[in-house]
Amino acid sequence: MTDEGKKSLAMVVMSGDFDKLAGAFIIANGAAAMGMDVTMFFTFWGLRALKKNVGSGKTFFGKMIGLMYGGGIEKSHPSKFAFGGIGRWMFKKMMANHGVQSLAEMRDLAVQLGVNMYGCQMSMDVMEIPRESFIDGVKEPVGVGFFLLKAQDADIQLFI
Amino acid sequence: MTDEGKKSLAMVVMSGDFDKLAGAFIIANGAAAMGMDVTMFFTFWGLRALKKNVGSGKTFFGKMIGLMYGGGIEKSHPSKFAFGGIGRWMFKKMMANHGVQSLAEMRDLAVQLGVNMYGCQMSMDVMEIPRESFIDGVKEPVGVGFFLLKAQDADIQLFI
Amino acid sequence: MTDEGKKSLAMVVMSGDFDKLAGAFIIANGAAAMGMDVTMFFTFWGLRALKKNVGSGKTFFGKMIGLMYGGGIEKSHPSKFAFGGIGRWMFKKMMANHGVQSLAEMRDLAVQLGVNMYGCQMSMDVMEIPRESFIDGVKEPVGVGFFLLKAQDADIQLFI
């Protein structure tokens, strides 16, 4: 629990996969909506989730790929999208048919709900992702020690 | 801890990979056998673990693939099975040689041990997986808020 | 918390991917350096992280692949390395440019810091990985029940 007696959640987000990021934000936003104090520590592939949308794709999916993997590798896709294209099709269909928020919308909501989003300083260094590439609303870069202190006192910890 | 003073475990199962599902059930069944209260919240790819076996494969492995990914995409396999086939071979060999339970048997044991298995309502909607496709023993569909309430008070939380 | 009042961390390491193992060791070593009691339970693909370096590759990366997947399948690579080679390039570059420890160095540090590393007995059996193949500093093989007892009383639990 936090100082204010709130229940709290601390998660590492290492994955940059579409599905994992959606899961991370759905859990984080759900927790924040319930009044929990939420910390998301983005590292490695997960850092792409914090970047401004620099995708050049015109479709929704093209933009999401740009969001996740930067402008240079729009043609890549998460491993689970490789089932003869059925994964990609499934996501497009699910977005269109069921009114689920896009990743960018989930991320906006996280900012609005006061979810604390941090980039891992070491990962930012090694992947050469400057803080300036992040959207507004991301906190200052921190190290693994910061995450561990948050996680020690959190009621829920997850590695995604 | 739960109301009855039992230790408790709450896990999200997002993966539908053979190896990850085996890990999830081994941990869940181990915890239940130790007297813990166990909650498994299946979402996204993980939902396949709850489906009745509709695989048309005749081999054990063909049926497992059917179990995980439904009848239409039996030819797909988890990413870790792609090492020139050695992953698939390894699993078959390990099953045959070491008397480890199959996934279906692990799942049956989970039901017998009173593991609480839930499907994520939102994922079921977007992936168009009706409750009727699930095996007996799965509880009513729930949302992420239900999981978070369970996880807040659990002694162990995992994201698989 | 442990008996001595230390904060504690218990993690399952199922993945054998380069990036996931790096994350696991960075978190474990960070926690140990902060004075936490750390338990790493290596299972399945993760067991490769405990093996002596039997890779025959001459390059750093060749050796790491050997470390992770044994001598026979040096040509394999983690799924995230498949982006037209950019993943592999990225890791090599990041190692060279930013002075980050190699996986082997991280593991050595874990031993020095007193991180408790265990192999999962069942996984060792089914994958036919004998205890003798492990580096010095790995504890005796244990089962999932051992991990669960550690995790129940730990302040942080993670599944990697």
DSSP secondary structure, A17-81, as one string: -HHHHHHHHHHHHHHHHTT-EEEEEE-GGGGGGGB------SSHHHHHHHHHH-GGGTT---GGG
What would the mean pLDDT of C99-103 be, rounded to a whole number? Answer: 79
Instruction: Decide if pLDDT at B56 tops 80.
Output: no
What would the mean pLDDT of C130-137 be, rounded to a whole number? Answer: 89
Tell whether C5 lies on the interface with B, counting CB pairs under 8 A. no
Query: Taking CB atoms and an 8 Å cutoff, what residues of chain C touch B159?
Result: 159
Show the tokens assigned to B126.
């977007």
Query: Taking CB atoms and an 8 Å cutoff, what residues of chain C touch A154?
Result: 156
The four Cα atoms C37, C38, C41, C45 give a dihedral, to 10 degrees, of: 180
> Which sign, positive or negative, has the C-alpha torsion C81, B72, B65, A18?
positive
Name the minimum distance, in Å, from the CA of A54 to any CA of chain B: 27
Query: Taking CB atoms and an 8 Å cutoff, what residues of chain A touch C27?
Result: 12, 144, 147-148
Q: Let me know how many helices (H) and strands (E) chain A has, helices first.
A: 6, 4
Instruction: Decide if pLDDT at B59 tops 80.
Output: no
Q: What is the DSSP string of C76-140?
A: ---GGG-STTHHHHHHHHHHHHH-PPPHHHHHHHHHHTT-EEEEBHHHHHHTT--GGGBPTT---
What would the mean pLDDT of B133-139 be, rounded to a whole number? Answer: 92
* Calpha distance A139→A119 (Å, rounded): 8
Touching chains, A (3+ CB pairs < 8 A): B, C
Q: What is the pLDDT of residue B154?
A: 98
Q: What is the pLDDT of residue A76?
A: 32
* Calpha distance A12→A149 (Å, rounded): 13
Q: What is the pLDDT of residue C156?
A: 98
Least confidently predicted of A27-31, B65-69, B114-118, C155-159: B65-69
**C10 versus B60: which is more confidently predicted?**
C10
Backbone torsions φ then ψ of C93, nearest 5 degrees = -60, -45
Q: What is the pLDDT of residue A89?
A: 59
Q: What is the pLDDT of residue B7?
A: 97
Query: Taking CB atoms and an 8 Å cutoff, what residues of chain C touch B82?
Result: 79
* Calpha distance C41→C47 (Å, rounded): 9
pLDDT tens for C9-61 read 999 999 988 889 889 999 999 999 999 999 999 998 888 889 886 543 445 54
Under an 8 A CB cutoff, do A159 and B157 touch?
no
**A84 versus A77: which is more confidently predicted?**
A84
Looking up tokens 């926690």, which residue turns up?
C31
Phi-psi sector, C85: left (phi>0), alpha (psi -120 to 50), beta: left
* Calpha distance A57→A63 (Å, rounded): 5
Under an 8 A CB cutoff, do B155 and C159 touch?
no
**B156 versus C63: which is more confidently predicted?**
B156
H-helix or E-strand spanning residue B103: helix B103-112
Provide the pLDDT confidence category of residue B65 given band limits of 50, 70 and 90.
Answer: very low
Across chain B, mean pLDDT equals 79
Tell whether B150 lies on the interface with C, counting CB pairs under 8 A. no
Angle at A107 between CA A101 and CA A111, to 5 degrees: 125
Residues with Cβ < 8 Å from C21, sequence gap 6 or more? C13, C15, C46, C49, C68, C103
Across chain C, mean pLDDT equals 79
Which of A14, A38, A80, A109 should we substitute to test contact with B (largest number of B Cβ atoms within 10 Å)? A80
Tell whether A144 lies on the interface with C, counting CB pairs under 8 A. yes
Tell whether B90 lies on the interface with A, counting CB pairs under 8 A. no
pLDDT tens for A126-155 read 777 889 888 999 999 999 999 999 999 999
Q: What is the pLDDT of residue B129?
A: 82
- Provide the residue type at C118 as one letter: Y
* Calpha distance A55→C26 (Å, rounded): 31
Instruction: Decide if pLDDT at A57 tops 50.
Output: no
Provide the pLDDT confidence category of residue B62 given band limits of 50, 70 and 90.
Answer: very low
* Calpha distance A118→B17 (Å, rounded): 29
**C102 versus B55: which is more confidently predicted?**
C102
Instruction: Decide if pLDDT at B87 tops 70.
Output: no
pLDDT tens for C71-88 read 322 233 444 544 445 555
Residues with Cβ < 8 Å from C72, sequence gap 6 or more? none
Question: Any idea what DSSP says for residue C157?
Answer: E
Predicted model pTM: 0.85
Residues present in chain C in total: 160
For helices A60-69 and A86-98, the axis angle rounded to 10 degrees is 110
Instruction: Decide if pLDDT at B74 tops 70.
Output: no
Of residues A9, A23, A94, nearest to B14 (C-beta)? A23
Contact C1, C18 (CB under 8 A): no
Least confidently predicted of A32-41, A106-115, C41-50, C135-144: C41-50
Share of chain C above pLDDT 70, in %: 70
Q: What is the pLDDT of residue B82?
A: 43
* Calpha distance C119→C53 (Å, rounded): 16
* Calpha distance A40→A118 (Å, rounded): 6
